[in-house]
Structure 1
Amino acid sequence: MRALSCLGLAILLMSAAVVLAAEGEPQRPSDEPPAAAPAVPAPGSPAAPAAPDIKAAPLPRFDSSGPKTAEKPRGERLDALFAELKREPSADKAGGIASSIESIWRDSGSDTVDLLMLWSAAAIAKKDNAAALDLLDQVVLLAPDYAEGWNRRATLNFTMNRYPQSIADVEQTLRREPRHYGALMGLGMILEELDQKDKALDAYSRALAVYPALKAAQDAVGRLADELGGQPI
């Protein structure tokens, strides 16, 4: 029995030594060659995965000029220009302001009406008054609120010595734009032709109140005031 106990103890000691050796000693490299790393397919080969189609997103554009402001409504722009026109004593500078006003007046907001106005101007230049009058009849029919259409027809009627028709068109113009100094000047000229100088003086004075630097109005007011005996303006 004692011999068997000694043999069991020896077996236990040998097992413990094997376990300690396995935990404490580094494993020796194996003689077998290491497994080869998986091969990476060459780009473009059938086995290679397709490269993702990455498109560069466009970069945002930044405007260094700052935020854009919306254009003011037509009425506000005209009000501002007429305020400048009334304050400007220089005839040259006032003429530039008047040109801006007239540019706004000419813009009907309709391509069709603008084209008819262009054709009417060409017809007037050729002295084809009948064609021009027909075109302007269409303008006032299509755009009855467009003051410049009435004013253009008033001018044409005046050149054709159709004074009653011209006065009627001037009234339509002034109903839509009371500050239309061109229509007021035309009215004054018609009234002078009709020998209504007091009314002509009033028309010229109204034009001068809107456009103080307008020399034609200044001259007309001065001349008629002298003829009528220095009546107050």
Structure 2
Amino acid sequence: MGVVFINLKRILAAWLAALAFCLPATAGQDKLDDLLARLPEAEPSEARKLAAEIEMEWSKSGSAAMDLLLRRGRDAIEAGELDAAVEHLGALTDHAPGFAEAWHLRSVAFFKQDRYGLALADIGRALALEPRHFNVIFGLGVLLEELGRYQLAHEAFTRVEAIHPHHENVSSARERVARKLGGAEL
């Protein structure tokens, strides 16, 4: 009986530890779900605030080391140091393959290097992890437009607009692609 009780204690302790690790992720996911649910109905100024909060949530890996790699990758992209960005973000995707923002930013670096196939692959990974990531979907639209796939680009921009109607670039991008398709609007 004593051995069973000790094992039960260990099992319970392991279960509680696992639960403790799950709660912050669930709380963060609930917050993200709430923010994304409010975004389509928000007024423009409120939408900008909500989008900034959403982007902040997407940038949280849950690890200080992974957040550092993300920051280094983002800084390298902004500085035009694309090879360094790909290295930092590649390390990040290796160590945190479930972190959508890592795949998103590496797709941006690949796109800026004109490595469209790799960018598209990373976009696919990011969207598999977070299908509501309006910046990733917008990037997909930009990539498809660059490849001359205007109908698909228009569909991507329309999807972004459904999630985040006040995205700063989506309306003009959708209209630009619609003109390339031969009409003022589809």
TM-score category (smaller protein): 0.7 to 0.9
Match 2:128 to one of 150, 169, 175: 175
User: Taking structure 1 as reference, are residues 83 and 156 closer, same or farther at Cα in structure 2, changes over 3 Å only?
Assistant: same
What SS is found at the alignment partner of 1:83?
helix
Amino acid at match of 1:117: L
Please list, as runs of the form range in 1=range in 2, the aligned pairs for 1:186-225 lying within 5 A after superposition.
186-225=139-178
Q: Which residue of 2 aligns with 1:78?
A: 32
Match 2:41 to one of 64, 84, 87: 87
Q: Which residue of 1 aligns with 2:20?
A: none
How big is each residue's C-alpha offset from its partner over 1:116-164, in whole Å with a ceiling of 9 and x where there is no partner? Answer: 1122223233322222211111100100000000001001011111111
Cα pair 2:160 2:170 within 8 Å, conserved: yes
Match 2:73 to one of 105, 108, 120: 120
CA distance in 2, matches of 1:127, 1:192: 22
- For structure 1, which runs of at least 5 residues remain unmatched after alignment? 1-69
Q: Which residue of 2 aligns with 1:105?
A: 58
Q: Which residue of 2 aligns with 1:130?
A: 83
User: Taking structure 1 as reference, are residues 130 and 179 closer, same or farther at Cα in structure 2, changes over 3 Å only?
Assistant: same
CA distance in 2, matches of 1:125, 1:223: 26
Tell me the C-alpha RMSD between the 2 structures. Answer: 1.9
Please list, as runs of the form range in 1=range in 2, the aligned pairs for 1:1-80 lying within 5 A after superposition.
73-80=27-34
Say whether 1:228 aligns with 2:181: yes
Cα distance, 1:92 vs structure 2 = 2.0
Q: Quick check: which one's helix share is greater?
A: 2
Cα distance, 1:232 vs structure 2 = 7.5
Cα distance, 1:103 vs structure 2 = 0.5
Query: Which stretch has the larger CA shift, 197-206 or 211-220?
Result: 211-220
- For structure 2, which runs of at least 5 residues remain unmatched after alignment? 1-22
CA distance in 2, matches of 1:119, 1:220: 29
TM-score, normalisation: structure 2: 0.81
In the TM superposition, structure 1's runs of 4+ consecutive aligned residues that sit over 6 Å from their partners are: none
Identity %: 34
